[in-house]
Chains A and B, each alone.
Chain A
Amino acid sequence: EVQLVESGGALVQPGGSLRLSCAASGFIFNTFTMNWVRQAPGKGLEWVSHIHSSGTPIYYKDSVRGRFVISRDNAKNSLYLQMNSLRAEDTAVYYCARSSGNYGGSEFDYWGRGTLVTVSS
């Protein structure tokens, strides 16, 4: 059974940093592109970043490029999101999601349950 379990969400002050993790199981992790998607309270879904199965290429939404860094450790079946210079507008539930395909754009066929990041003083 495919499982994605996020962790690392917390309350952090504006300008602070946080590292999210996603532990994957039930599939061959190093053959799938992975994504982070977020959802602000009461809002729609917003794609944040994408990393190919091999670690490159990597893509970011404009509003997080230069502040967030996505990475993966295929030996540990884990996906990460290092978030720096956090802003109030980054407040959201962050989901780890698997792309069904490994090239080009793709639908997301499995999602974790999310981890809440709150940016507030």
Chain B
Amino acid sequence: SQTIHQWPATLVQPVGSPLSLECTVEGTSNPNLYWYRQAAGRGLQLLFYSVGIGQISSEVPQNLSASRPQDRQFILSSKKLLLSDSGFYLCAWGPGLAAYNEQFFGPGTRLTVL
């Protein structure tokens, strides 16, 4: 069966510090991978998605970036965090491009920028 891992689970970082969040998927090949963010009391917002190694699409302009160095690894980064980057970051994977395919979410990383 497939599993998705995210770490760390929680993170407290000062403004201006760098960020690296990692997501890995097990039990599947060539998944579509996604990073979402949920700000406090708000809905989920898609940040980035990837359909293959090295292929990244950005949905929202911001000071975050994403990379996919391996088939089942997805990394979210920032060189300098802002207060507004605080939120619940969720990685997800999907098995295909069809509209009937599901997405499966990881446990999330709760980021607080102080």
Q: Do A and B come from one complex?
A: no
- What is the interface of chain B, defined by CB distance below 8 A to chain A? none
- What is the interface of chain A, defined by CB distance below 8 A to chain B? none
